Amino acid sequence: MQKLLTGYIKCGVIVAAMAGLVGMSACTKEQVKLVHYDTDTSGQLMGNAALKQRKVLLIGIDGAVASLVESIKPPVITGLLPQSVYTFSGMNDSVNTAGATWSTLMTGQTSVAHKIVDSTLIPRSVEGSHDAIKYYNSILYFIKDDNNSAKITSITQWADLNYFAMNSADKLINVKNTDGDKGVQDAAIKELNTASPDVLIVNFNSPSLAGIKSGFADNADYRQAITNVDTYIGELLKAVKARKNAAKEEWLVIIQNTTGGYLNRVGGGSRSERDNMTIYYSPIITPGRFDGPTYHDLGIRYTGGASNYIRAENNDGGLYNPADGEMTIEAKVRFNKGPRGNYTYSYPPFLSKIDSLDGTVNGWGFYRDGTDIAFAFQDGVNANEVRPGVKISDGAFHSIIATLKHTYDATNGHVYTASVFIDGTAKNTATIKKGEARIESGSPLVIGYRPVIYNDNNEIDMYLTDLRIWNVVLPDDIILKYNKTYVIDNTHPYYSKLIGDWRGNDHSGNVLHDYSPSKKDFTVTGKYTWDALGIVTQPNIPAAPCNKDVASSVLGWFGITLPTSTMPPGVNWIKVVGTK
């Protein structure tokens, strides 16, 4: 399949797998001339008699952690921001290796579509397959197709990036690894001084190398790598301004991180790996900073049975017993498909402080029943449970909330009233009357598997984040207002009643830290991993620029419009001053 794949890429496309068969001649057969509706904005938007030629300098930086670049404040990059559209807090694809990101930059498609996930630059589903190939033309193809005289140059130390992703370029310059990023800078300056590229693509990678060696943090090695790249960018900008035809050219400079990094790794789903840095610089565009919503980046997947469970345990010393008082328990949950290949389960617990739900054991717990959830509460003699008014069978995150309150009166004796909510609504209520004096259990608080609840076939498969416990029943209006809140602080009206707050975004290790004053941490057991989640925690805030948008913005800068079926799905962030 390597030969077939190379044939596609040499026609200026990046390929992805899809069902069917394709012959070896698919490259020539399927590259039909596209209909272009060229708005010619490269000239018309200016309103000048002497039109200037639009050009692009795309600088991709491997290993540039967006938040660190912002905090280091390298002088050249910082000096560009007042005349830039930029962000340091966009959210990129959960697969963010350099190979995946460069493929996204060229096609405007996410890795789910183009299926390139690593440095092989080969769609994973294509290897060894005889299925037909769905391919995506790169922006370089569209630029050349729109203007056959356009000149494109790509400069990198990564030869395969040129051969696989930049094949539509007129000139591929492979810099020796021994020459490093300084060699990349020198080659780019030479190209600007001696040639006339319409698109110049430059790839720096020293921040990635420094981070892998010394850690992606504000240490001496990493800071020096960022500072050096900043200096190289400054030299490239000087070369752009010194071109003999500079007065007749308008350059859009794009500075884009292709990966971030965390600890000594790249390509994972943590915020420092996934946060996007995009800077679109030009004196003629409408500038602005865009800050994206925060998001919950990583979480532990709770799954397995007796021999392979992954769960979290909290020996709370009885703190999370309602006893003869009251309590609110809330969490964000996402159920994965279970053993039947759907969202139907047979009674597995997933958040519990009880050893069994046979009606004679004291405690409380949530469990899954089909596509319902149920909240069970037992006083050691009496038992009841309550289900909300809606089911959960969509593979999405939902907030679940249960309240439990003890009261006493002469007629009904000890009464326990439990209510349960989904996403702040769908409330249902159940009670135990003439019960025992207290609900309390010596069992630890557990997220995930327990050996016995109703039966032995009780494996769960889920994510659970943002678990909070209060020693009060929160009012319905407060539950509704805050059910989508991910970080609780002292502005919450019931903050003083918070006795447990586990956000579950600790990124590494086997401890879920408690952010409440109680400091009762969970310990995770089993062969756990921290999986990429990307839960947007501020859904009302619009998304900031991300790497998927670069393709659309470049095409927009050149005034190239395409049919909807062909146009990359990203956002064009470029608005020329004085245009609508």
Q: What is the pLDDT of residue 93?
A: 83
Full pLDDT tens readout for the chain, 580 residues: 222 223 323 334 444 433 332 333 333 333 334 434 444 444 444 444 467 999 999 999 999 999 999 999 999 999 999 999 999 999 888 788 999 999 999 999 988 888 888 989 988 865 555 666 678 999 999 999 999 999 999 999 999 999 999 999 999 999 999 999 999 999 999 999 999 999 999 999 999 999 999 999 999 999 999 999 999 999 999 999 999 999 999 999 999 999 999 999 898 888 889 899 999 999 999 999 999 887 888 899 999 888 889 999 999 999 999 999 999 999 999 999 887 788 888 888 899 999 888 888 999 999 988 889 999 999 999 999 999 988 898 888 899 999 999 999 999 999 999 999 999 998 999 999 999 999 999 999 999 998 765 555 668 899 999 999 999 999 999 999 998 888 888 999 999 999 999 999 888 899 999 999 999 999 999 999 998 887 777 777 788 999 999 999 999 999 999 999 899 999 999 999 866 5
| In contact, 560 and 146? CB cutoff 8 Å | yes
Sheet holding 249-257, edge to edge: 171-174, 152-156, 199-204, 53-61, 249-257, 275-281, 84-91, 288-289
The alpha carbons of the chain give a radius of gyration, in whole angstroms, of: 28
Instruction: List, in order, residues 6 or more apart from 399 with CB less than 8 Å away.
Output: 330, 331, 332, 333, 421, 422, 423, 424, 483, 484
Q: What is the pLDDT of residue 48?
A: 47
| In contact, 445 and 314? CB cutoff 8 Å | yes
Q: What is the pLDDT of residue 204?
A: 99
CA atoms of 445 and 458, how far apart (whole Å) = 17
Q: What is the pLDDT of residue 68?
A: 97
- The closest of 499, 342, 479, 347 to 422, measured between CA atoms, is 479
**Mind listing the pLDDT tens digit for each residue in 45-76?**
444 446 799 999 999 999 999 999 999 999 99
CA atoms of 415 and 36, how far apart (whole Å) = 72
Q: What is the 3-state secondary structure (H, E, C) of 496-530?
A: HHEEEEECCCCCCCCEECECCCCCCCEEEECCCCE
Using the structure block, give the residue that is written with the tokens 């679940």.
Answer: 400
CA atoms of 384 and 20, how far apart (whole Å) = 54
- The closest of 107, 102, 201 to 156, measured between CA atoms, is 201
Q: What is the pTM of this model?
A: 0.76
- The closest of 188, 141, 163, 151 to 555, measured between CA atoms, is 141
The alpha carbon of 353 is separated from its chain's Cα centroid by a whole number of angstroms, namely 33
- Which domains are present in the chain? 2-272+542-557 (3.40.720.10), 297-531 (2.60.120.200)
Q: What is the pLDDT of residue 293?
A: 82
Q: What is the pLDDT of residue 574?
A: 96
